[in-house]
């Protein structure tokens, strides 16, 4: 299992509550290209079938 923390919030959490949006809220889209790059990075870090958690911030991955 590969888990990637993007540090963003689900856009639907604030669809009807604009006043509660977190500071710096910016919706993100996850593309197939991002998924592919994430898997490739995880493989270089030794991921196989075990659980691995990555953090993605400012265009960079970090292993949690």
Per-residue pLDDT of the chain (64 residues; tens, 9 = 90+): 999 998 776 777 777 877 877 776 666 778 999 999 999 999 999 999 899 999 998 889 999 8
**How many domains does the chain contain in total?**
1
Say whether 17 sits in a helix, a strand or coil.
Answer: coil
Yes or no: say if 14 and 20 are a contact pair by the CB < 8 Å rule. Answer: yes
Domain enclosing residue 42, as ranges? 2-14+29-63
Q: In the numeric block, which tokens belong to residue 12?
A: 């639907």
| Confidence (pLDDT) at 29 | 79
Domain contains 9 = yes
Residue 1: what pLDDT?
A: 95
Please report whether residue 24 resides in a domain. no
């Amino acid at each position: 299992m590969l888990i990637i923390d993007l540090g963003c919030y689900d856009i639907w959490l604030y669809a009807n509550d604009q006043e509660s949006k977190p500071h710096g809220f910016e919706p993100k889209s996850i593309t197939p290209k991002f998924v592919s790059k994430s898997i490739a990075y995880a493989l270089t870090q030794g991921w196989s079938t075990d659980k691995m958690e990555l953090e993605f911030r400012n265009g960079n991955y970090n292993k949690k």
